[in-house]
A and B are shown apart, each in its own frame.
Chain A
Amino acid sequence: GAVVSQHPSWVICKSGTSVKIECRSLDFQATTMFWYRQFPKQSLMLMATSNEGSKATYEQGVEKDKFLINHASLTLSTLTVTSAHPEDSSFYICSARGLGGSEQFFGPGTRLTVL
């Protein structure tokens, strides 16, 4: 199946700093990418959906100025957590879908810890 990578796999940062997470589709063109957040022992919660070259669509309750999403190419999307705080500590997962496809391919996730 198609492969999606995420970098970094884990990151620790200080409160108030910004962190960028990359999501790449390695062997297909991802026209749509999704960002999820998963707190311990909970399900995946959709944060936003982005189409290549367009602004991301954020779910209700997700601050678009805090979670900046860029999907500038068909193989790369980035999530930047700005002015991170301890409550932003979570597991962030991206997924990608190709044109006309119904299946989403998931990255391995990024564990963010904000001190």
Chain B
Amino acid sequence: AQTVTQSQPEMSVQEAETVTLSCTYDTSENNYYLFWYKQPPSRQMILVIRQEAYKQQNATENRFSVNFQKAAKSFSLKISDSQLGDTAMYFCAFMPDNDMRFGAGTRLTVKP
């Protein structure tokens, strides 16, 4: 079975500091996509960042970057200069084929 594991149910960080959310996955596929989604209280799913497995370079989007370790099947999200608006649920997602599978999520709270 292809699974996604987020081992941190909750995390908190001080405003302006950096936080890293972890994600591991299990697959025998070689080509796939990985995503981080943010779900604020409105519950709208917002794409934060995506990574294609065949690309070795880690994806970055402004304050958000990933550390993709394909051999270790690890896909962590680093949020730099945390802002109060970053408070939300964060879901790691894995898409080996047609379907997208989500981790259990990490609730991130940014403290002023």
Shortest Cβ distance from residue A2 to the other chain B in the assembled complex, whole angstroms: 11
Whether the pair A106, B44 counts as a contact (CB closer than 8 A) is: yes
Whether the pair A44, B44 counts as a contact (CB closer than 8 A) is: no
Kindly state whether residue B55 has any CB partner on chain A within 8 Å: no
Whether the pair A108, B43 counts as a contact (CB closer than 8 A) is: yes
User: Taking A43-B91, A43-B105, A102-B33 as contacts, is the C-beta distance between A108 and B100 under 8 angstroms?
Assistant: no
Kindly state whether residue A78 has any CB partner on chain B within 8 Å: no
> Within 8 Å CB of B33, what residues of A?
102
Kindly state whether residue B28 has any CB partner on chain A within 8 Å: no
CB contact between B50 and one of A32, A38, A103 (< 8 Å): that residue: A103
Whether the pair A49, B99 counts as a contact (CB closer than 8 A) is: yes
How many chain B residues sit at the interface, stated as a range, is 10 to 19
Within 8 A of B (CB), among A70-115: 91, 93, 95, 102-104, 106, 108-109
How many chain A residues sit at the interface, stated as a range, is 10 to 19
> Within 8 Å CB of A91, what residues of B?
43
Per the bound structure, the CA–CA distance linking A32 and B42 in Å amounts to 25
> Within 8 Å CB of B101, what residues of A?
46
Residues of B participating in the A interface, judged by any CB pair closer than 8 Å: 33, 37, 42-45, 47, 50, 52, 91, 95, 98-105
